[in-house]
Amino acid sequence: MGTKMSKAGKAKKGAAASGKSGGGSGGNDNIDIKLDDKYTSKAGGGKLGIDDFELLKVLGKGSFGKVMLVKKKGGDDTLFAMKTLRKAALIKRNQLLHTATERNILQNIQHPFLVNLIYAFQSDDKLYMVLDYMGGGELFFWLKKHRRFSEARAQLMGAEITLALGALHAGNIIYRDLKPENILVDLEGHIRLTDFGLSKDGITGPGAEGGTKTFCGTPEYLAPEILDNKGHGKSVDWWSFGTLLYEMLCGLPPFYDTNIQKMYHKILCAPLRFPSYLSDDAKEILRGLLQRKVEERLGSGPGGTDEIKAANFFKTLDFDRVMAKEYTPEFKPPAGRNDTDATNFDLEFTTEKAIDSVVTTHMSETAKQKSNFTDFTYQNEGAMGS
């Protein structure tokens, strides 16, 4: 749903605060989750619900629902991105466990370069997650518009992405779906990662040891060890980061092909080639990140994220200052006429009427029991009164 095409003809999924992820096995998705009574609605005195929010714009759509720009009634004028997910669609595609994992990661990891969960609640038919709104839209939107970035622009964005992935890895979480659609940009030009539906927790090592064997992700960014089904760990994120950094600098992923099987073959076998305009430092970090042997890949050694931070490509940056957002990004997205015009999101979505669609496919009682998410409800303490 909401397929976008880049200038090179590359199909992309439309999304906003958290678009639709790639495939993957759902595993055992029979989870019991209940509503938490302690968060109450200012509007009706009951549990927090969709009626507590003013729906302003559609920002993106995916296979399981959509993302809307919203504002909380009775609060201040803070804007949020509300992700709605149809339970029946999640059950049909065995995605309940992935959704629960995403919800838990969003609650438990707070970081300047990861999107924050503000509220979570559910109805009989849907799950709702209310997240930070990033008015600059998706990185994909800007790659499509600008084709490729300068090294200075890619350097700061890459450093922020490195810190985001490092925070996940420090919590023994692998991201597994790094791509331009899942990187949001704020109006100052800084980034945040979103959409943790394919993330996996409990991963302690860089490779197969202490890892997982699930085949999942987005084709262009899959690491060789995922394609080989050898088992994988944290290092898959550094391969995907290398692919993304190459795309930011060169305009397309390094092994891109319109034929997915040919692209998989290139990921496994094709030589890595660079355009002549890339600096030696850029080539060096890309060679390190795009090593097919996990043990030789940059970031896979005992230093982990510190190996990436020490690369010559980042030598002009102080990562403490990066974390504090003390560097001014080269590019700032336009703010638009007003806060709610969503000018940096695709018109295909923003011209739709923002409504909480009625679910026409009703679930069986068994399905309803499967989709009853215990402790799904959440309110970020910093959002009290918002």
Q: DSSP letters along 298-339, please?
A: TT-STTTHHHHHTSGGGTT--HHHHHTT-SPPS------SST
Give residue 297's identity as a one-letter amino acid code: R
The percent of residues in the chain predicted with pLDDT above 70, rounded, is 78
Residue range(s) occupied by CATH 3.30.200.20 in the chain: 3-135+338-380
Place of tokens 């040891």: 209
Tell me, what DSSP letter sits at residue 85? E
Which range, of 217-226, 356-365, 377-386, averages the lowest pLDDT?
Answer: 377-386
Q: Are 52 and 42 in contact (CB under 8 A)?
A: yes
Helix (H) / strand (E) containing 68 = strand 65-72
Place of tokens 């600059």: 136
Whether 177 sits among the annotated catalytic residues: the reply is yes
Annotated binding-site members for ATP: 83
What residues does 193 pair with on adjacent strands? 114, 183
With a cut of 70, say whether residue 15 has pLDDT above it: no
The CATH architecture to which 139-323 belongs is: Orthogonal Bundle (1.10)
Q: pLDDT per residue over 253-275, tens digit each?
A: 999 999 999 999 999 999 999 99
Which range, of 9-23, 159-173, 217-231, 363-377, averages the lowest pLDDT?
Answer: 9-23
**What is the crossing angle of helices 151-170 and 235-250, to 10°?**
170
The tokens for 20 are 């639709």
Look at residue 381 in the predicted model and tell me its pLDDT: 61
Bigger pLDDT: 40 vs 336: 336
With bands split at pLDDT 50, 70 and 90, how would you rate the model's confidence at 382? low
With bands split at pLDDT 50, 70 and 90, how would you rate the model's confidence at 181? very high
> Within the chain, how many helices (H) and strands (E) appear?
12, 12
Place of tokens 């838990």: 104
- The catalytic residue among 52, 125, 132, 177 is 177
Average pLDDT across the chain, whole number: 83
Residue range(s) occupied by CATH 1.10.510.10 in the chain: 139-323
Q: In whole angstroms, give the CA distance from residue 179 to residue 194.
A: 10
**What is the crossing angle of helices 280-289 and 235-250, to 10°?**
150
Residues 31/34/19/329 CA torsion (nearest 10 deg): -120
Nearest CA-CA partner of 310 in 302, 248, 274: 302
Look at residue 204 in the predicted model and tell me its pLDDT: 64
Q: DSSP letters along 248-303, please?
A: HHHSS-TT--SSHHHHHHHHHHPPP---TTS-HHHHHHHHHHT-SSGGGSTT-STT
With a cut of 90, say whether residue 354 has pLDDT above it: yes
Nearest CA-CA partner of 240 in 340, 158, 123, 353: 158
With a cut of 80, say whether residue 299 has pLDDT above it: yes
pTM, rounded to two decimals: 0.83
Angle formed at CA 156 by CA 155 and CA 160, multiple of 5 degrees: 115
Look at residue 212 in the predicted model and tell me its pLDDT: 62
166 by DSSP, 3-state: which? helix
Q: pLDDT per residue over 205-255, tens digit each?
A: 665 455 566 777 789 999 999 998 888 889 999 999 999 999 999 999 999
Mean pLDDT confidence for 342-356: 92
With a cut of 60, say whether residue 328 has pLDDT above it: yes
Q: pLDDT per residue over 21-80, tens digit each?
A: 334 433 333 333 333 333 334 444 458 899 999 999 999 988 788 999 999 998 888 999
What residues does 60 pair with on adjacent strands? 67
Q: In whole angstroms, give the CA distance from residue 44 to residue 41.
A: 6
Spatial CB neighbours of 337, under 8 Å, sequence gap ≥ 6: 343
Mean pLDDT confidence for 124-139: 94
Look at residue 12 in the predicted model and tell me its pLDDT: 42
- Evaluate whether the domain defined by 3-135+338-380 bears CATH number 3.30.200.20: yes
Burial state string for 259-279 with b = 16 or more CB within 10 A and e = fewer than 16: eeeebbebbeeeeeeeeeeee
Nearest CA-CA partner of 231 in 215, 208, 256: 208
Spatial CB neighbours of 43, under 8 Å, sequence gap ≥ 6: 51, 52, 73, 74
Tell me, what DSSP letter sits at residue 134? -
User: What's the sign of the alpha-carbon dihedral 229, 230, 234, 237?
Assistant: negative
